[in-house]
Amino acid sequence: MCFFSYFGTLVNMKNIQLLGLLLVVVGSFLPLVHVPIIGNWNYWKLDHYLAIACWILAACAVFGIVNNSAKIVRFFGVLLILLFVFTLVAVKLQSLDYFSFLPFKSWREAFAGVVKLKWGWVVEFLGAFLLVFAGNNKKENQRTQI
């Protein structure tokens, strides 16, 4: 017998979505980028506006979870994934631009390569994927009620 059908799909899916939401919020405080000499940066040190956008999207996902709307939760989960991808691209481009004073392109790429992504991104993406894929299946109990 399936675990979800035994304990009730709606409650467990809601808990998984809440876990994903918690991972997204906690992940914004975890180290996401390591810059030599300066140290680790989280979402708030990377860019305040992106961090605020992340929290607003997470708050909108809470609205969908509370109202049992899987479409809203999936929509904001996808938006969070797109925000994280945008942030990763922006970090790489910004690190290349930061070393633009160097005369050779190979030097710029070498110095930009010292900016490393950290393990916090795994938590962020895992939380967003849980929001997207943990929607309820509209498969309700097939028993006939008298």
- Tell me the per-residue pLDDT of 46-80, one tens digit each, with 9 for 90 and over: 889 999 999 999 999 999 999 888 899 999 999 99
- Note the pLDDT of residue 57: 95
**CB proximity list for 114: less than 8 A, separation 6 or greater:** 35, 36
Matching residue, tokens 């049992």: 68
- For the chain, percent of residues with pLDDT exceeding 90: 38
Q: Where are the alpha helices (DSSP H) in the chain?
A: 3-7, 9-27, 43-46, 48-66, 70-98, 105-112, 120-133
Find, among 12, 14, 30, 19, the residue nearest to 129 by Cα.
19
- Note the pLDDT of residue 140: 47
pLDDT in tens, 98-118: 766 677 777 777 776 777 888
pLDDT bracket for residue 122 (50, 70, 90) = very high
Distances (CA, A) of 130 to 27, 93, 96: 13, 28, 32
Highest-pLDDT range among 56-70, 86-100, 108-122, 127-141: 56-70
- Note the pLDDT of residue 62: 93
- For the chain, percent of residues with pLDDT exceeding 70: 80
Q: Span 1-15, mean pLDDT?
A: 56
- Note the pLDDT of residue 143: 53
Asked whether the predicted pLDDT for residue 15 surpasses 70, the reply is yes
Q: Where are the domains of the chain?
A: 14-30+46-134
Rg (CA), the chain: 20
Q: Which long-range contacts (CB under 8 A, 24 or more apart) does 108-117 make?
A: 114/35, 114/36, 115/33, 115/34, 115/35, 115/36, 115/91, 116/33, 116/34, 117/32, 117/33, 117/34, 117/88, 117/91
Write down the mean pLDDT value for the chain: 81
Find, among 75, 65, 61, the residue nearest to 15 by Cα.
65
